[in-house]
A and B are shown apart, each in its own frame.
Chain A
Amino acid sequence: MKLQHYLGGLEGLGPVSTETRVFVESWETRIFGIHAAMMALSSQLPLPRTSSTFHTVWTWADLRKGAESLNPFDYFKYRYYEKWLGGISGYFIDKGYISADELDRLTEDYYKDPGKPLPAGGEAAIDDRVVQYLVEGDSPKRDVPVAYRFAVGDTVVVKNIPTVEHTRLPGFLRNKTGTVETVYDGAYTYLCDTGSDGIGAAMPVYCVRFDPAELWPDNAEPNFSIYADLYAHYVEAPASAAAKAA
């Protein structure tokens, strides 16, 4: 198991941060902008081709895989955009767009001379595509025939599926029982095929209500409910769960 999947309910962490800023260092704005551009220029999107030399796929799934693969101590140690900087730099090196040496060398240059200007240039169509992506988005909803196994009010059990590098199943819900609150209209893909984790292809998504008293017996606040949006692959009927346990 990966701690990053099991954050919900973790104890002993001390007070929360109440920092309302989005960026706490100005450099963080730049790595956010680079990430947004990568998502927009990612090769699987049906957007106008540009002269950008970016020719691979980059989605949230790639960023999340990086964060989920970290040593959990590092996950807590590094600030949000520090993890992004590490993950995104690593991606460009791994895919051969840049070399680790040239990044290190240029980092030294900018470290010594922070005012050194950036290179100039680039085709405006690249930036047009970035804006087009932000405006249009990348809907995961697909108009395909859908069979809904569950209806509002049904009881479902969350599967304890194998996790590989990436999941959208919060760990604290594994093996727990909940009640379907909403059956979302249509079917939803995920950004990548998560392998034995089981999402990627278009499938229903359910909003499921859980009772915190069942999640954390005698150790949850009263009079509250927790709801999670779960891909259909993650839930099954109580009878199926019982048959497996027998």
Chain B
Amino acid sequence: MDDRFEYRNDREAYSAARVRALEALLIKKGIITDKTVDTVLEFFQTKMGPFNGAKIVARAWLDPTFKARLVADTPKAIAELALPAGMAGAEGEHMRAAANEPGVHNLIICTLCSCYPWPVLGLPPYWYKDPTFRSRAAREPRAVLKEFGLDIPQSIEVKVWDSSAQIRWFVVPERPAGTEGLSEAQLEALVTPESMMGVAIAKAA
């Protein structure tokens, strides 16, 4: 018997020690600095993240002509907005938006790995990286969406986009009913990362 199917019983403590040892060696050998990792993490907390995508979607809800431009030429439309520098940066050099509409629901997947539009959505959540999700969403998207609590009837067409080349995709969810009086900032708060990848829809608070 080999131990292929067993984990160390100190699985997380061991990985934590190992990554700390690796970071320490990389600093000591002059590859990175003592601030590099924190610099990267701060960048994803403040500059690249789903807060940008939420602003883009809220604007699309308020301005149908912006929404049309966003779908037609995603990077150009995003550049109209006052977002942090880097909206065509790492993992967002070539982005494409798929807009939900009555009768069409879009879902973004990456069957080969975890391609994700960093500038507008930040880093991929675990569900997106899960091999089970990546396998099943390509054959039975509605069954998968149901496990996320989203019921998409057969009368609605599902479009699944597999990010296998260098294009990074996100979904523009539909504006929920009952949000007519909300401000742009209030609308942004309704836009979740899951709704911008298609495993959820935006809901009125």
Contact = CB atoms under 8 A, between A and B. Distances in A.
Interface of A: 4-5, 7-11, 13-22, 24-27, 29-34, 36-37, 39, 41, 51-54, 60, 64, 67, 71, 73-77, 80, 82, 85, 88-89, 92, 97-98, 102-103, 106-111, 114, 118-124, 126-127, 130-131, 133-141, 167-170, 172, 184, 188, 190, 205, 207, 212, 215-216, 219-231
B170 to A, nearest CB: 14
Chain B contact residues (Cβ within 8 angstroms of A): what range? 35 or more
Contacts of A141: 93-94, 166
A88 B89 CA distance: 23
8 contacts: A15-B132, A20-B126, A24-B126, A27-B12, A27-B16, A85-B22, A139-B93, A172-B138
B193 to A, nearest CB: 7
Interface in B108-128: 111-114, 122-127
A212 B21 CA distance: 47
Best-buried of B22, B122, B132, B158 by chain A (most CB within 10 Å)? B22
B75 to A, nearest CB: 10
A54 B31 contact: yes
Nearest to A36: B40
A76 B131 contact: yes
Contacts of B204: none
Contacts of B69: none
A223 B150 CA distance: 17
B40 A122 contact: no
B122 to A, nearest CB: 7
B90 A170 contact: no
B154 interface: yes
Contact of B36 (A18, A33, A73): A33
Contact of A111 (B14, B31, B144): B14
B159 A227 contact: yes
A231 to B, nearest CB: 6
B33 to A, nearest CB: 2
A139 B94 contact: yes
A21 B126 contact: yes
B91 interface: yes
B4 A77 contact: yes
